[in-house]
Structure 1
Protein backbone atom coordinates (compact mmCIF):
# COMPACT_ATOMS: atom_id res chain seq x y z
CA UNK A 1 0.00 0.00 0.00
CA UNK A 2 1.29 3.45 -0.91
CA UNK A 3 1.57 5.51 2.29
CA UNK A 4 2.94 8.60 0.57
CA UNK A 5 1.53 11.77 2.10
CA UNK A 6 1.15 15.25 0.65
CA UNK A 7 0.50 18.47 2.49
CA UNK A 8 -2.27 20.80 1.40
CA UNK A 9 -0.45 24.11 1.26
CA UNK A 10 -3.24 26.23 -0.21
CA UNK A 11 -6.94 26.13 -1.14
CA UNK A 12 -8.20 28.85 -3.47
CA UNK A 13 -11.49 29.62 -5.15
CA UNK A 14 -11.33 29.14 -8.89
CA UNK A 15 -11.14 32.62 -10.45
CA UNK A 16 -13.61 31.83 -13.28
CA UNK A 17 -15.64 28.76 -12.29
CA UNK A 18 -18.11 29.12 -9.44
CA UNK A 19 -18.21 26.26 -6.98
CA UNK A 20 -14.74 25.00 -7.94
CA UNK A 21 -11.57 25.13 -5.82
CA UNK A 22 -7.89 24.88 -6.61
CA UNK A 23 -5.99 22.50 -4.32
CA UNK A 24 -2.24 22.90 -3.89
CA UNK A 25 -0.18 19.98 -2.60
CA UNK A 26 3.35 20.65 -1.41
CA UNK A 27 3.30 24.08 -3.03
CA UNK A 28 2.08 22.90 -6.46
CA UNK A 29 -1.40 23.06 -7.97
CA UNK A 30 -2.48 19.42 -7.96
CA UNK A 31 -6.19 19.32 -8.71
CA UNK A 32 -9.42 21.29 -9.02
CA UNK A 33 -12.47 20.02 -7.15
CA UNK A 34 -16.13 20.83 -6.68
CA UNK A 35 -17.19 22.38 -3.39
CA UNK A 36 -19.11 19.20 -2.49
CA UNK A 37 -15.91 17.15 -2.81
CA UNK A 38 -13.94 19.74 -0.87
CA UNK A 39 -16.38 19.56 2.04
CA UNK A 40 -16.82 15.77 1.98
CA UNK A 41 -13.08 15.08 2.23
CA UNK A 42 -12.19 18.10 4.43
CA UNK A 43 -9.60 19.38 2.01
CA UNK A 44 -8.31 22.19 4.21
CA UNK A 45 -5.01 24.01 4.27
CA UNK A 46 -2.56 22.24 6.57
CA UNK A 47 -4.22 18.82 6.21
CA UNK A 48 -2.15 15.85 5.08
CA UNK A 49 -3.48 13.66 2.29
CA UNK A 50 -2.45 10.07 1.81
CA UNK A 51 -2.33 8.50 -1.65
CA UNK A 52 -5.37 6.33 -0.91
CA UNK A 53 -7.44 9.34 0.15
CA UNK A 54 -6.28 11.27 -2.91
CA UNK A 55 -7.53 8.42 -5.09
CA UNK A 56 -10.97 8.59 -3.42
CA UNK A 57 -11.01 12.35 -3.90
CA UNK A 58 -10.33 11.96 -7.62
CA UNK A 59 -13.06 9.31 -7.95
CA UNK A 60 -15.61 11.53 -6.21
CA UNK A 61 -14.50 14.49 -8.29
CA UNK A 62 -15.09 12.57 -11.52
CA UNK A 63 -18.51 11.47 -10.28
CA UNK A 64 -19.42 15.04 -9.35
CA UNK A 65 -18.22 16.25 -12.75
CA UNK A 66 -20.33 13.62 -14.51
CA UNK A 67 -23.35 14.59 -12.42
CA UNK A 68 -22.85 18.26 -13.25
CA UNK A 69 -22.49 17.49 -16.98
CA UNK A 70 -25.64 15.36 -16.92
CA UNK A 71 -27.68 18.05 -15.13
CA UNK A 72 -26.63 20.66 -17.67
CA UNK A 73 -27.56 18.30 -20.50
CA UNK A 74 -31.08 17.54 -19.23
CA UNK A 75 -31.51 21.19 -18.25
CA UNK A 76 -31.31 22.39 -21.85
CA UNK A 77 -34.35 20.33 -22.86
CA UNK A 78 -36.01 17.05 -21.83
CA UNK A 79 -33.92 13.98 -22.74
CA UNK A 80 -34.45 10.26 -23.05
CA UNK A 81 -32.28 7.85 -21.09
CA UNK A 82 -30.53 6.78 -24.29
CA UNK A 83 -29.65 10.39 -25.14
CA UNK A 84 -28.09 10.97 -21.72
CA UNK A 85 -26.13 7.73 -21.90
CA UNK A 86 -24.77 8.63 -25.33
CA UNK A 87 -23.83 12.10 -24.10
CA UNK A 88 -21.92 10.75 -21.09
CA UNK A 89 -20.17 8.17 -23.27
CA UNK A 90 -18.97 10.97 -25.55
CA UNK A 91 -17.56 12.60 -22.43
CA UNK A 92 -15.62 9.33 -21.92
CA UNK A 93 -17.07 8.40 -18.55
CA UNK A 94 -16.96 4.71 -17.62
CA UNK A 95 -20.02 2.49 -17.91
CA UNK A 96 -20.33 1.86 -14.14
CA UNK A 97 -20.21 5.61 -13.49
CA UNK A 98 -22.77 6.29 -16.20
CA UNK A 99 -25.08 3.69 -14.64
CA UNK A 100 -24.81 5.43 -11.26
CA UNK A 101 -25.54 8.84 -12.78
CA UNK A 102 -28.54 7.51 -14.72
CA UNK A 103 -29.95 5.89 -11.58
CA UNK A 104 -29.50 9.11 -9.60
CA UNK A 105 -31.20 11.15 -12.34
CA UNK A 106 -34.16 8.77 -12.26
CA UNK A 107 -34.42 8.83 -8.47
CA UNK A 108 -34.48 12.64 -8.48
CA UNK A 109 -36.99 12.73 -11.38
CA UNK A 110 -34.65 14.46 -13.80
CA UNK A 111 -34.97 11.50 -16.15
CA UNK A 112 -38.18 9.66 -17.00
CA UNK A 113 -38.80 8.23 -20.47
CA UNK A 114 -42.58 8.24 -20.00
CA UNK A 115 -42.63 11.95 -19.18
CA UNK A 116 -40.15 12.63 -21.98
CA UNK A 117 -42.25 10.75 -24.55
CA UNK A 118 -45.43 12.55 -23.50
CA UNK A 119 -43.80 16.00 -23.73
CA UNK A 120 -42.10 15.18 -27.02
CA UNK A 121 -45.35 13.89 -28.55
CA UNK A 122 -47.37 16.92 -27.47
CA UNK A 123 -44.75 19.36 -28.78
CA UNK A 124 -44.31 17.60 -32.11
CA UNK A 125 -48.01 17.06 -32.86
CA UNK A 126 -49.50 20.33 -31.64
CA UNK A 127 -46.66 22.82 -32.11
CA UNK A 128 -44.77 21.43 -35.09
CA UNK A 129 -47.81 19.72 -36.63
CA UNK A 130 -46.11 16.37 -37.23
CA UNK A 131 -48.02 13.12 -37.59
CA UNK A 132 -47.96 10.15 -35.22
CA UNK A 133 -45.76 8.11 -37.56
CA UNK A 134 -43.11 10.84 -37.51
CA UNK A 135 -43.25 11.07 -33.70
CA UNK A 136 -43.07 7.31 -33.29
CA UNK A 137 -39.96 7.08 -35.47
CA UNK A 138 -38.23 9.89 -33.56
CA UNK A 139 -38.95 8.31 -30.18
CA UNK A 140 -37.70 4.95 -31.43
CA UNK A 141 -34.44 6.60 -32.47
CA UNK A 142 -34.15 8.10 -28.98
CA UNK A 143 -34.35 4.65 -27.43
CA UNK A 144 -37.79 4.92 -25.86
CA UNK A 145 -39.49 1.55 -25.28
CA UNK A 146 -42.33 0.65 -27.71
CA UNK A 147 -44.91 0.40 -24.92
CA UNK A 148 -43.91 3.84 -23.61
CA UNK A 149 -44.18 5.32 -27.11
CA UNK A 150 -47.62 3.85 -27.60
CA UNK A 151 -48.77 5.15 -24.23
CA UNK A 152 -47.71 8.68 -25.24
CA UNK A 153 -49.38 8.45 -28.66
CA UNK A 154 -52.57 7.13 -27.08
CA UNK A 155 -52.94 10.49 -25.32
CA UNK A 156 -53.47 12.17 -28.70
CA UNK A 157 -57.13 12.12 -29.74
CA UNK A 158 -57.53 10.80 -33.30
CA UNK A 159 -59.97 13.60 -34.21
CA UNK A 160 -57.40 16.17 -33.08
CA UNK A 161 -54.71 14.71 -35.33
CA UNK A 162 -57.22 14.60 -38.19
CA UNK A 163 -58.11 18.24 -37.60
CA UNK A 164 -54.49 19.35 -37.62
CA UNK A 165 -53.76 17.32 -40.74
CA UNK A 166 -56.77 18.82 -42.52
CA UNK A 167 -55.87 22.41 -41.62
CA UNK A 168 -52.26 21.89 -42.66
CA UNK A 169 -53.32 20.23 -45.91
CA UNK A 170 -55.81 22.97 -46.74
CA UNK A 171 -53.09 25.60 -46.47
CA UNK A 172 -50.82 23.52 -48.71
CA UNK A 173 -53.65 23.00 -51.23
CA UNK A 174 -54.30 26.73 -51.52
CA UNK A 175 -50.60 27.44 -52.10
CA UNK A 176 -50.21 24.71 -54.73
CA UNK A 177 -50.62 25.43 -58.43
CA UNK A 178 -51.76 23.07 -61.18
CA UNK A 179 -54.77 20.93 -61.86
CA UNK A 180 -56.92 19.44 -59.15
CA UNK A 181 -55.09 16.15 -59.65
CA UNK A 182 -51.71 17.90 -59.25
CA UNK A 183 -52.88 19.61 -56.08
CA UNK A 184 -54.21 16.36 -54.69
CA UNK A 185 -50.94 14.51 -55.36
CA UNK A 186 -48.70 17.26 -54.00
CA UNK A 187 -50.81 17.88 -50.90
CA UNK A 188 -51.07 14.18 -50.07
CA UNK A 189 -47.32 13.72 -50.52
CA UNK A 190 -46.65 16.72 -48.29
CA UNK A 191 -48.85 15.34 -45.50
CA UNK A 192 -47.39 11.84 -45.77
CA UNK A 193 -43.87 13.24 -45.44
CA UNK A 194 -44.91 14.97 -42.23
CA UNK A 195 -45.76 11.59 -40.73
CA UNK A 196 -49.51 11.36 -41.10
CA UNK A 197 -50.95 7.92 -41.83
CA UNK A 198 -52.51 7.09 -45.20
CA UNK A 199 -55.98 6.87 -43.65
CA UNK A 200 -55.74 10.29 -41.99
CA UNK A 201 -54.32 11.85 -45.17
CA UNK A 202 -57.13 10.26 -47.21
CA UNK A 203 -59.78 11.80 -44.93
CA UNK A 204 -58.04 15.17 -45.06
CA UNK A 205 -57.83 15.17 -48.86
CA UNK A 206 -61.53 14.31 -49.20
CA UNK A 207 -62.47 17.16 -46.85
CA UNK A 208 -60.15 19.55 -48.68
CA UNK A 209 -61.69 18.69 -52.04
CA UNK A 210 -65.17 19.23 -50.62
CA UNK A 211 -64.05 22.54 -49.12
CA UNK A 212 -62.53 23.64 -52.42
CA UNK A 213 -65.66 22.64 -54.32
CA UNK A 214 -67.84 24.64 -51.91
CA UNK A 215 -65.60 27.67 -52.32
CA UNK A 216 -65.75 27.38 -56.11
CA UNK A 217 -69.56 27.15 -55.95
CA UNK A 218 -69.80 30.18 -53.72
CA UNK A 219 -67.48 32.05 -56.07
CA UNK A 220 -69.64 31.16 -59.10
CA UNK A 221 -72.82 32.20 -57.26
CA UNK A 222 -71.20 35.52 -56.45
CA UNK A 223 -70.23 36.10 -60.09
CA UNK A 224 -73.80 35.28 -61.29
CA UNK A 225 -75.39 37.64 -58.79
CA UNK A 226 -77.06 40.62 -60.43
CA UNK A 227 -77.93 43.76 -58.56
CA UNK A 228 -81.64 44.53 -58.73
CA UNK A 229 -82.67 47.53 -60.79
CA UNK A 230 -83.77 50.60 -58.90
Structure 2
Protein backbone atom coordinates (compact mmCIF):
# COMPACT_ATOMS: atom_id res chain seq x y z
CA UNK A 1 0.00 0.00 0.00
CA UNK A 2 2.82 2.40 0.89
CA UNK A 3 4.57 1.61 -2.42
CA UNK A 4 1.39 2.31 -4.37
CA UNK A 5 0.96 5.62 -2.55
CA UNK A 6 4.58 6.55 -3.19
CA UNK A 7 4.18 5.84 -6.91
CA UNK A 8 0.98 7.87 -7.09
CA UNK A 9 2.72 10.75 -5.35
CA UNK A 10 5.36 10.73 -8.08
CA UNK A 11 2.89 10.89 -10.92
CA UNK A 12 3.27 13.90 -13.17
CA UNK A 13 0.70 15.50 -15.43
CA UNK A 14 1.63 16.18 -19.04
CA UNK A 15 1.38 19.94 -19.48
CA UNK A 16 2.24 20.20 -23.19
CA UNK A 17 3.21 18.18 -26.25
CA UNK A 18 5.31 20.03 -28.81
CA UNK A 19 6.60 18.95 -32.20
CA UNK A 20 10.39 18.66 -32.31
CA UNK A 21 11.67 21.35 -34.66
CA UNK A 22 14.77 19.32 -35.54
CA UNK A 23 13.11 15.97 -36.20
CA UNK A 24 9.86 16.11 -38.13
CA UNK A 25 8.05 13.09 -36.68
CA UNK A 26 9.20 13.42 -33.08
CA UNK A 27 7.45 15.11 -30.18
CA UNK A 28 8.65 16.58 -26.91
CA UNK A 29 6.62 15.72 -23.82
CA UNK A 30 6.64 18.27 -20.96
CA UNK A 31 5.33 18.00 -17.43
CA UNK A 32 5.92 20.78 -14.90
CA UNK A 33 9.65 20.77 -15.70
CA UNK A 34 11.38 23.17 -18.09
CA UNK A 35 13.06 20.31 -19.96
CA UNK A 36 11.00 17.64 -21.74
CA UNK A 37 10.68 14.38 -19.82
CA UNK A 38 10.42 12.48 -23.10
CA UNK A 39 11.30 12.84 -26.76
CA UNK A 40 9.37 10.25 -28.76
CA UNK A 41 8.43 9.27 -32.29
CA UNK A 42 4.82 10.12 -33.13
CA UNK A 43 3.95 6.42 -33.35
CA UNK A 44 5.11 5.95 -29.75
CA UNK A 45 3.25 9.06 -28.69
CA UNK A 46 0.02 7.69 -30.17
CA UNK A 47 0.57 4.17 -28.83
CA UNK A 48 0.95 5.41 -25.25
CA UNK A 49 -1.56 8.26 -25.59
CA UNK A 50 0.89 10.88 -24.48
CA UNK A 51 -1.55 13.78 -24.64
CA UNK A 52 -1.93 16.90 -22.52
CA UNK A 53 -3.59 16.15 -19.20
CA UNK A 54 -2.49 12.51 -19.01
CA UNK A 55 -0.63 11.51 -15.86
CA UNK A 56 2.59 9.58 -16.12
CA UNK A 57 4.85 7.89 -13.56
CA UNK A 58 8.65 7.70 -13.50
CA UNK A 59 8.53 3.97 -14.24
CA UNK A 60 6.36 4.64 -17.29
CA UNK A 61 8.80 7.26 -18.48
CA UNK A 62 11.67 4.77 -18.31
CA UNK A 63 9.61 2.14 -20.14
CA UNK A 64 8.44 4.51 -22.88
CA UNK A 65 11.95 5.89 -23.35
CA UNK A 66 13.24 2.36 -23.91
CA UNK A 67 10.38 1.54 -26.30
CA UNK A 68 11.12 4.69 -28.25
CA UNK A 69 14.79 3.76 -28.59
CA UNK A 70 13.87 0.30 -29.85
CA UNK A 71 11.50 1.83 -32.36
CA UNK A 72 14.08 4.43 -33.41
CA UNK A 73 16.64 1.67 -34.00
CA UNK A 74 14.09 -0.12 -36.21
CA UNK A 75 13.27 3.02 -38.20
CA UNK A 76 16.94 3.88 -38.71
CA UNK A 77 17.66 0.33 -39.82
CA UNK A 78 14.93 0.55 -42.48
CA UNK A 79 16.36 3.84 -43.72
CA UNK A 80 19.83 2.29 -43.83
CA UNK A 81 18.51 -0.59 -45.88
CA UNK A 82 17.10 1.74 -48.51
CA UNK A 83 17.10 0.05 -51.90
CA UNK A 84 20.24 -1.94 -51.14
CA UNK A 85 20.09 -5.35 -49.47
CA UNK A 86 22.26 -5.67 -46.37
CA UNK A 87 23.15 -8.44 -43.99
CA UNK A 88 22.04 -8.67 -40.37
CA UNK A 89 25.66 -8.09 -39.34
CA UNK A 90 26.00 -4.92 -41.43
CA UNK A 91 22.83 -3.41 -39.99
CA UNK A 92 23.88 -4.38 -36.47
CA UNK A 93 27.24 -2.67 -36.95
CA UNK A 94 25.50 0.44 -38.24
CA UNK A 95 23.21 0.63 -35.21
CA UNK A 96 26.16 0.02 -32.90
CA UNK A 97 27.90 3.04 -34.43
CA UNK A 98 24.73 4.99 -33.65
CA UNK A 99 25.25 3.96 -30.00
CA UNK A 100 22.05 2.00 -29.46
CA UNK A 101 21.94 -0.49 -26.62
CA UNK A 102 22.54 -4.06 -27.74
CA UNK A 103 19.12 -5.31 -26.63
CA UNK A 104 17.45 -2.63 -28.75
CA UNK A 105 19.64 -3.50 -31.72
CA UNK A 106 18.58 -7.13 -31.38
CA UNK A 107 14.93 -6.06 -31.24
CA UNK A 108 15.29 -4.09 -34.48
CA UNK A 109 17.14 -6.90 -36.25
CA UNK A 110 14.67 -9.57 -35.16
CA UNK A 111 11.75 -7.42 -36.26
CA UNK A 112 13.33 -6.79 -39.65
CA UNK A 113 13.85 -10.53 -40.10
CA UNK A 114 10.30 -11.38 -39.05
CA UNK A 115 9.03 -8.87 -41.62
CA UNK A 116 11.41 -10.40 -44.20
CA UNK A 117 13.15 -7.07 -44.74
CA UNK A 118 16.42 -8.74 -43.83
CA UNK A 119 17.15 -12.22 -45.17
CA UNK A 120 20.77 -13.34 -45.04
CA UNK A 121 20.13 -16.45 -47.12
CA UNK A 122 18.53 -14.49 -49.94
CA UNK A 123 21.27 -11.88 -49.70
CA UNK A 124 23.91 -14.62 -50.00
CA UNK A 125 22.33 -16.04 -53.16
CA UNK A 126 22.04 -12.63 -54.80
CA UNK A 127 25.54 -11.60 -53.79
CA UNK A 128 27.10 -14.84 -55.02
CA UNK A 129 25.43 -14.61 -58.42
CA UNK A 130 26.40 -10.97 -58.83
CA UNK A 131 30.03 -11.57 -57.84
CA UNK A 132 30.32 -14.43 -60.29
CA UNK A 133 28.87 -12.44 -63.18
CA UNK A 134 30.36 -9.00 -62.69
CA UNK A 135 33.21 -9.55 -60.26
CA UNK A 136 34.60 -12.56 -62.12
CA UNK A 137 35.40 -14.36 -58.89
CA UNK A 138 35.29 -18.06 -58.14
CA UNK A 139 33.11 -19.77 -55.59
CA UNK A 140 35.87 -20.11 -52.98
CA UNK A 141 36.51 -16.36 -52.85
CA UNK A 142 32.79 -15.62 -52.95
CA UNK A 143 32.23 -17.91 -49.98
CA UNK A 144 34.98 -16.13 -48.06
CA UNK A 145 33.49 -12.72 -48.87
CA UNK A 146 30.05 -13.85 -47.72
CA UNK A 147 31.41 -14.98 -44.36
CA UNK A 148 33.25 -11.68 -43.98
CA UNK A 149 29.87 -9.99 -44.36
CA UNK A 150 28.44 -12.00 -41.51
CA UNK A 151 26.77 -14.79 -43.48
CA UNK A 152 26.94 -18.13 -41.67
CA UNK A 153 29.15 -20.89 -43.08
CA UNK A 154 26.09 -22.99 -43.87
CA UNK A 155 24.25 -20.19 -45.69
CA UNK A 156 27.40 -19.27 -47.60
CA UNK A 157 27.97 -22.90 -48.61
CA UNK A 158 24.37 -23.25 -49.78
CA UNK A 159 24.61 -20.05 -51.81
CA UNK A 160 27.73 -21.07 -53.71
CA UNK A 161 26.38 -24.58 -54.25
CA UNK A 162 23.60 -22.99 -56.31
CA UNK A 163 26.05 -21.20 -58.61
CA UNK A 164 25.93 -22.33 -62.21
CA UNK A 165 29.09 -24.30 -63.05
CA UNK A 166 29.04 -23.22 -66.71
CA UNK A 167 28.88 -19.57 -65.67
CA UNK A 168 31.79 -20.07 -63.30
CA UNK A 169 33.86 -21.69 -66.04
CA UNK A 170 32.98 -18.86 -68.43
CA UNK A 171 34.14 -16.32 -65.84
CA UNK A 172 37.40 -18.19 -65.31
CA UNK A 173 38.03 -18.37 -69.07
CA UNK A 174 37.37 -14.67 -69.48
CA UNK A 175 39.84 -13.83 -66.72
CA UNK A 176 42.42 -16.27 -68.07
CA UNK A 177 42.22 -14.82 -71.58
CA UNK A 178 42.55 -11.29 -70.29
CA UNK A 179 45.50 -12.08 -68.03
CA UNK A 180 47.17 -14.31 -70.65
CA UNK A 181 48.11 -11.30 -72.80
CA UNK A 182 50.13 -9.64 -70.05
CA UNK A 183 51.83 -12.62 -68.38
CA UNK A 184 55.56 -12.87 -69.17
CA UNK A 185 57.89 -15.86 -69.32
CA UNK A 186 58.07 -19.16 -71.13
CA UNK A 187 55.08 -21.45 -71.45
CA UNK A 188 55.52 -23.18 -68.09
CA UNK A 189 56.14 -19.93 -66.26
CA UNK A 190 53.08 -18.32 -67.80
CA UNK A 191 51.01 -21.38 -67.03
CA UNK A 192 52.05 -21.39 -63.38
CA UNK A 193 51.39 -17.66 -63.04
CA UNK A 194 47.94 -17.97 -64.58
CA UNK A 195 47.13 -20.97 -62.41
CA UNK A 196 48.10 -19.07 -59.26
CA UNK A 197 46.16 -16.01 -60.40
CA UNK A 198 42.93 -17.91 -61.02
CA UNK A 199 43.19 -19.82 -57.77
CA UNK A 200 43.71 -16.57 -55.87
CA UNK A 201 40.47 -15.42 -57.44
CA UNK A 202 38.73 -18.35 -55.81
CA UNK A 203 38.28 -20.76 -58.70
CA UNK A 204 38.55 -24.48 -57.84
CA UNK A 205 41.35 -26.49 -59.43
CA UNK A 206 39.02 -28.35 -61.80
CA UNK A 207 37.67 -25.07 -63.16
CA UNK A 208 41.19 -23.66 -63.53
CA UNK A 209 42.28 -26.69 -65.55
CA UNK A 210 39.37 -26.31 -67.95
CA UNK A 211 39.89 -22.57 -68.29
CA UNK A 212 43.55 -22.99 -69.23
CA UNK A 213 42.76 -25.57 -71.90
CA UNK A 214 41.22 -22.92 -74.10
CA UNK A 215 44.42 -20.87 -74.35
CA UNK A 216 47.03 -21.18 -77.10
CA UNK A 217 49.87 -22.89 -75.24
CA UNK A 218 51.60 -24.48 -78.25
CA UNK A 219 55.12 -23.35 -78.97
CA UNK A 220 56.86 -23.42 -82.32
CA UNK A 221 57.87 -27.06 -81.90
CA UNK A 222 54.21 -27.99 -81.60
CA UNK A 223 54.60 -29.41 -78.09
CA UNK A 224 51.14 -29.78 -76.52
CA UNK A 225 50.34 -28.14 -73.16
CA UNK A 226 48.75 -31.31 -71.80
CA UNK A 227 52.16 -32.96 -71.52
CA UNK A 228 53.32 -30.28 -69.07
CA UNK A 229 50.07 -29.92 -67.20
CA UNK A 230 50.21 -28.47 -63.72
CA UNK A 231 48.64 -30.70 -61.07
CA UNK A 232 45.84 -28.90 -59.27
CA UNK A 233 44.03 -30.01 -56.15
CA UNK A 234 40.49 -28.93 -55.36
CA deviations on 1:2-31 (whole Å, 9 max, x unpaired) are 331333333222223221122233252323
Task: Verify the 8 A CA contact 1:10 1:27 in the aligned structure 2.
Answer: no
Pair 1:14 & 2:15 matched: no
> Tell me, which stretches of 5 or more residues in structure 2 are unaligned?
220-234
Task: Give a deviation string over 1:88-125, Cα, whole Å, max 9, x none.
Answer: 44444444433332321111001212101111111211
Report if aligned partners of 1:9, 1:27 keep a CA contact under 8 Å in 2. Answer: no
> Matches of 1:114 and 1:67 in 2, distance apart?
21
Q: Secondary structure at the match of 2:15?
A: strand
Equivalenced residue count is 212
3-state DSSP class of the match of 1:33?
Answer: strand
Which runs of 5 or more residues in structure 1 are unaligned? 214-230
1:138 corresponds to which residue? 145
Q: Alignment partner of 1:29: what SS? A: coil
Root-mean-square deviation (CA), in Å?
2.4
Pairing of 1:55-204 with structure 2 (within 5 A)? 55-75=62-82, 77-204=84-211
TM-score w.r.t. the length of structure 1 is 0.80
Q: How many angstroms apart in 1 are the aligned matches of 2:179 and 2:129?
A: 23
Which structure has the highest helix share of the two?
1
8 Å CA contact retained: 2:74, 2:109: no
What TM-score does the superposition give when structure 2 sets the normalisation length? Answer: 0.78
Shift of 1:186: 3.0
1:16-57 Cα distance to aligned partner (Å, 9 max, x none): 322112223325232321111111112223333222221221
Residue 208 of structure 1: SS of its match in structure 2?
coil
Cα deviation 1:174-230 (Å, max 9, x = unaligned): 2334443443333323222221122212221221235x87xxxxxxxxxxxxxxxxx
